[in-house]
Each structure stands twice: as C-alpha cells, then as structure tokens.
Structure 1
Amino acid sequence: MNSTVFTVMLLGPSLNAVSGVSTHLNQLFHSSLANEFNLIHFQVGSEGQKESAVSKSKRFLFSPIQFFWQLIWKKPHIIHLNTSLVPKSFWRDIAYLFVARIMGKKIVYQVHGGALPQFFFANNKLLTGLLKLILSSTDVVVLLAQEELHAYRNFKPSLHLELIPNAIEIDADPQWKKIPTSRDQLLRLVYVGRLAENKGIFEIVEALRIVLSHNRNIELVVAGSGPEEDKLRIHVKDLGLSNHVSFVGAVFGEEKKHVWEQADLFIFPTYHEGLPYTLLESMAARTPPVVCPVGAIPDVIENRVHGVFVPSRNPEALAVAIERLDSDRALICSMGEAGRQRIENYYTIARLAGDFRRVYYDLLS
C-alpha cells in the first residue's frame, strides 16, 4: 500500500489558535504522519471571536457547504473530526459528520474532553438516542482517557473505540535542575494555564494564604490569561499576598520553558479535565504536579510517584499537600525524575503519530 496517495482531512480550529485542539493538530502536521499521508486542514469554529447572531447563522449555514465542496475538490479518503462533547461543538459538528457520511468518507471522530456520554443529555431519552446514532455513524471514536473508554464502551458496546492520549514534543532533559533541599530555602510554585474558576485558581491562592500563615518560604508564579484574571489579581491583593504572587501572563516557547525550569512544583487543582498539555510539560520539565485525579490525569500519574493527588475545591487539603512536600524535598526530586521518564516512555509525538498511523491504515485496508 502506497500511503503517500492517501489524503486525510483534519477538521478543527485555526492552526494559529491558542487551544489544546490546535496544538494537537499542529503536532500531527509536523509529525512523521505528514511524510506518509497528505494531511490537509479544514477550519471549523469561530476561534473565540465575538459574533453577531447574523454572522453566526451565516457561518453555521455556509461552512458545511464549503466543506462539501472541499470534499469534492480535495477528495480526502479519511475525515478526522476533532470535537468535544460539549453542546456548542456537538451540534456544530453534526453537520460536518453528516456531509462526510453522505459522501462516503471514512470518519475518525476524536473527542477532546467534555461530558461523558451517559450524562451529556441527562435523562432525555430522545437526545441520548440521537447521540448513540451520531457515534454509530463514525468508523472509529478516539478518546483520551481510560475513564472515557469505559464510559463509551458501556454507552454503546458496538462502537469501534481507540484510546490515544495526548503527547508533547520533549525538550532536552533538564538533568541539571536542582530542587532546594532545605525547607528554609524558597519553594517555587507555578500555575500554567487558563485563568478560569474551574481550574482551581482561587483554591490555589487560598492554599497559599494558609501555607504562608505557617511561616513557609514559598512563592507562586501565575502564567496564563483568562476571564478571571482581574478578579484573581484583586483577590491576591485583598489577601495581602502581592509580594508572594507574580503574574507573568500567557507564556509560549522559550518563555514557557524558562517558567518550567524555574519552578519546583506545578499546582493544578482543576475541577475537570481531559489530558492537559501543561501536565505533560510539567512532568517533562521535572516539575512534579499537585493535581486533582480527574479525566485522563490518573492514567498518567501514580500518586506520590509522579505527582500528588488532592481533592478538588479543597484549599485546606491543597495547603496540606504543599506543606508536606515543602518538608520532603527528596520526594519532589524523585517524582521529578519519575515524571520525566514517564513522559519519555509513553507521551512522545512519535508514539502519537504511530497510534494514528495504525488507525488510518486500518480504515484504508
């Protein structure tokens, strides 16, 4: 089989957008898959831009029509639809799925987080039946987490399911990184991500207040932007923590690498998650995560081996975990080493490309 003749059309947001799905698409386009398949991109979504009702209606109407003509012109063999099980994405992407199906294309339906299928439409039997029909119209459903795999298998046993976790491009191993060995030395915490309430950012600040009240030598760097940034800054100031918290904005490339290199612990008490890239990045940088065991995170981390689990919405428990690690710098070092090895062994772009290469060839055989 000469794979160079086969075309795969990847549907998702702009390749220049700041999103996890955009990162995923760019990884595939820059992986070894591009040497074996003709990978092309079709953009869907508004990229977070504000739209009038008229503009949104036009996009919903004309984008699937444009997609139809692209299928005729580009003649892709596989449609790789990147979506999430959230209402906006689900209803939008039904149109693309329908067009691809009536055109007889093989369909990879990759779900980047969202609700589990049993709970997506709550107790609405009609809409739940529609979801089963939509999923059954695909050739393969790709999921990120074991939790999702079990849920989809129970929801519709006949589905062809594949578990393909996210991956990252691994930088040079920061073996030189030294964690301060004494609790008298500064312990540097970092949060990297979107500044949204469901990421646990206010719990982080409250936990820091508790820890500092116990005379710990700790600082926090907040790297990111989002809808709660102004509120978070005010909260930090009101608690008198301004001298212990630094806001550095959204970081990318070498600037982000520097943030990881300077940090000792990654604090990420998110309420719900798929498989966040920041988690993989922190482990690759030997910066152990203190994180909630949600989504695909327990697939990646073994508690107190690669990082530490804490319950969500519980700043007191988060403070206890931080203080214990502040008193056990050797554990931080050992988790940093184990985390780096975990990423090198299981979460590389080469592994990601190999997983999709197998899926694509199976569909084409």
Structure 2
Amino acid sequence: MVCKKKFNICLITSPIGDASVTPVSNLAEIITHIAGEICLITGNAGSNLFNNDIRINTISINYKLGSSALSKIIRYLLLQLKISYYIIKKASRFDTHLFFIGSNNLILPAIISKIMRKNVILSLPSSSNMLKFANDRFYKVVEILESINLIIADKIIVYSPNLVNEWNLKKYSNKILFAHEHFINFNIFKLTNLFHKRENLVGYVGRLSGEKGVLNFIKAIGYIISKNNNMTFLIIGDGPLKNKIELDLDTYALNNNVKLFGWVPHDELPYYLNQLKLTVLPSYTEGLPNLMLESMACGTPILATPIGTIPDVITDGKNGFIMENNSPECIADNLIRALAHPNLEQISKNAEADVNREFTFENAVGKYRKALCDH
C-alpha cells in the first residue's frame, strides 16, 4: 500500500530508559519510510538516538523521577507541561501526533494536540498494566488517565487482536488498527553456536521487576535444583528487584547454579542468547517482547506465559513452549518438559526460521504504512 500523500508525523514518548531505546529507535526508523517530516519528542536515554540523523528533528526533555510521592506528582505535572509546550512551539506543522511508550497517560499533551486539530494516535496504550503487576501506588491514576486518552484518540494501534481482549479495548474497536515496530537486525541476532553443542543452560533476560514474574522464576529454579543439581541458569538484567533476587539466591543456596549479571549492552546479547538451550519469559503482562524475537533469531526456543502477542507468535511444541501460568510450580514443570522434548533441536530451527520470515524491516514498515494510511 502507498499513501496518497506524504504526511508529517511527530512521535511523542515520555523520557525513556535503556530498555525502551530499541522500540523507539525502531519505530522512528519505520516512520522515516512513511512520513514526509518527522519530529521526535523524547528524553533521557532517547536524547542522543538521532543526533547525526538529519531525517529526524529530536526535541529532548530530561526527566528525573522524584523520591517522595509529592515530588513524583510535581515532576510528572511539569513533564506534561514541558511536552505540551514543545507540541505547541515545535510540532504545530505536524499533522499526525503519534503517542508511544510511556506517553499514553500524558493527558495534557493529548488534549493540546486535539485542540490543535491534529490526528491523535495512541500506540501500545497500556502502561497501567505494567504498573499494576509491579504494585505501583499510582496504578489506578495512570489507568484513569489512559482511559481518558483512549477516548480522545482518533486511532489506537495495538500489536494483535489478542491484546484487544487482554487490555479491555473492545469498546474502542472502531478506532483500532494493528501494527508493530518490531524487526530484527539479522546481521547481529543470528545463530552462531549450533544448538546441539550447547549446555543445559536456561536464561532469563529482562527487567528485574514485579510484572516480569522473575521472583517466581527464582522459586522455580529452587524446585528444579532440588531434583537436578546439574542444571545452570543465567539471569541478565537490572531493576528494583535486584537486591531481593540476590537475597533469594543466598537464602535458597542457589549461587552455585545461578549466574546473575547486570544489564548487558544490546549488541552483546546475541553472544549470551547463543549459549542458552531455553529462554524463559514468566511475565504477568507483555505486549510483543523483543527479547522473544531476538532469542528465536539466535535459535533459542522460548518458554513463556500465554499473554500479549506471545500466543500469536509461539505455537507450543512447534517453535517454542507455552505454559499455563507463571506459578513457580508451573514454570518448573514446563521447563523440565521443554528441555526433555525429543524434537527440541527442530523446535530451535523452526523458531529461527519463523522470525527470519515474519519480523523483517520490510514487514514492519508495511504494517505501519497500512495503519497510518488507513487513518
């Protein structure tokens, strides 16, 4: 599909952390192949993403989260005012305002965009789900703000029909379009270590926070080690639960079997993924996890909960494994089941082939072009 006319897009995010660099840079790169002019309002880790790229005019906002509840609220309100100011001063000529990671609860910027008669599009509109499972005190407030922005929006972009049900978006079905910013750099994420040469090493890669189910994974490791002390595990990531995880590893005497790394640079991940026999995603909530695709591209099958877009990508026993829930017992049972599967190497090959076919840059551009042109 070719748009009848090139339009200008302002991509708006809250100031982002390291974990959001890949999706933001991916989406901006996709938009360069669709739009005329591009403006990016972001901050923190996103500030220097496109310093040398003349195609994208980046407006950077630095943001520090307050320590107390009151300071968090004040800083959050100031952030909304800053983004609204830049929307008025810098984004007035951009006819489409696309709100992405962390910005779907920024109600004032969305209202300003609507008053300016811009096409307001929300992409991935569910920050509150993550906060809910992380036991964040502001979860309900964020959920209300998101609900208002869903009403304001002209269009809502989600990854798959499964998320419409999971995120209770059926009432907005007349606004919903399907697209994703996911594509894999197959020059970096690729098979470099043959599957049959790998040890029985199982890994978790991601943020160490409540919504990711990582504490349940630690308990599952305890169950498995009590039966098979030869198993080894790798945990890569950082986050608010890091100290708790270190304490649990000591409490359950798991340090000999579990290696806990900090955050690994993105371009170093392929090395670690190529050492694993299995990657576990025990999350309570997900959209379309990039780590799942990157792991599959390295020939490493995934064991995951059936949430978000995961069931649209993973077919149990064909290109990965789905577990019923993320209870420690369920994780342990399914992990043992997966590693004992007689066709595990073929599942590895299927995972690699499926990602190489479906998650190319061209496919991602095509899906976003269709969504934005339909708008």
- TM-score with structure 2 setting the length: 0.80
Structure possessing the higher radius of gyration over alpha carbons: 1
Task: Summarize the Cα distance change of 1:136–1:174 in structure 2 as closer, same or farther, 3 Å threshold.
Answer: closer
Q: Structure 1 residues 141 and 57 mapped into 2: Cα distance closer, same or farther (>3 Å)?
A: closer
Task: State the alpha-carbon separation in 2 of the partners of residues 128 and 345 from structure 1.
Answer: 36
From 338, 344, 363, the counterpart of 1:332: 344
Can you give the 5+ residue segments of structure 1 that lack an aligned partner in the other structure? 120-126
1:267-326 alpha-carbon deviations (Å, 9 max, x no partner): 121112111111111111111111111121111111121211123342122212222233
Counterparts of 1:1-365 in structure 2, within 5 Å, are 6-14=7-15, 17-20=17-20, 22-31=21-30, 33-34=32-33, 37-43=36-42, 49-50=65-66, 52=71, 54-72=74-92, 75-83=93-101, 90-91=104-105, 93-114=106-127, 134-150=149-165, 154-157=170-173, 159-172=174-187, 174-175=190-191, 177-180=193-196, 186-215=199-228, 217-328=230-341, 330-363=342-375
Segment of structure 1 superposing worse, 44-53 or 273-282: 44-53
CA distance in 1, matches of 2:104, 2:278: 36
Instruction: Find the residue that maps to 1:30 and give its secondary structure.
Output: helix
Identity %: 19
Aligned AA (1:164)? A
Q: Which moved more, 1:286-295 or 1:185-194?
A: 185-194
1:236 CA drift (Å): 0.7
Partner SS state of residue 100, structure 2: strand
- Number of residues paired by the alignment? 340
Q: Equivalents in 1 of 2:168, 2:217: separation in Å?
A: 33
Q: Distance in 2 between matches of 1:287 and 1:308?
A: 11
For residues 138 and 250 of structure 1, do their structure 2 counterparts lie closer, same or farther at Cα, with a shift above 3 Å needed?
Answer: same
1:188 offset after TM fit, Å?
Answer: 0.5
Contact 2:104 2:122 in 1 (8 A): no
- Flag the 1:271–1:104 CA change in 2: closer, same or farther, 3 A: same
State how far apart, in whole Å, the 2-side matches of 1:253 and 1:278 are: 10
Q: 1-side partners of 2:234 and 2:177: how far apart? A: 37
Equivalent-residue separation in structure 1 for 2:122 and 2:206 (angstroms): 26
CA distance in 2, matches of 1:100, 1:59: 16
Contact 2:125 2:146 in 1 (8 A): no
1:131 & 1:35 partners in 2: Cα distance? Answer: 27
Gaps of 5+ in 2: 44-60, 133-141
CA distance in 2, matches of 1:166, 1:215: 40
Give the secondary-structure state (helix, strand or coil) at the position aligned to 2:330. helix
CA RMSD of aligned residues (A): 3.1
Q: State whether residues 166 and 352 of structure 1, in contact with CA within 8 Å, keep that contact through their aligned partners in structure 2.
A: yes
Further displaced range: 299-308 or 41-50? 41-50
Say whether the 8 Å CA contact 1:266–1:287 is kept in structure 2: yes
Q: Give the whole-Å Cα distance in 2 for the aligned partners of 1:47 and 1:40.
A: 19
SS at 2:218 equivalent: helix
Change (3 A) 1:263 1:79: same
| 2:178 partner amino acid | L
CA distance in 2, matches of 1:54, 1:202: 32
My pick for the range that moved more, 189-198 or 137-146, is 137-146
Aligned CA distance change for structure 1 residues 180 and 107 (closer, same or farther; 3 Å) = same
Aligned to 1:40, the other structure's residue is in SS state strand
Distance in 2 (CA, whole Å) between partners of 1:245 and 1:69 is 52
CA–CA separation in structure 1 for the residues paired with 2:281 and 2:3:
45
Structure 2 distance, partners of 1:251, 1:131, is: 32
AA aligned opposite 1:327:
A
Aligned CA distance change for structure 1 residues 340 and 109 (closer, same or farther; 3 Å): same
Deviation string, structure 1 residues 214-235 (Cα, Å, up to 9, x no partner):
2353111111000010110111
Q: What is residue 123 of structure 1 aligned with on the other side?
A: none
Normalising by structure 1, we get a TM-score of 0.82
The equivalent residue for 1:122 is: none
| Separation in 2, partners of 1:272, 1:135 | 19
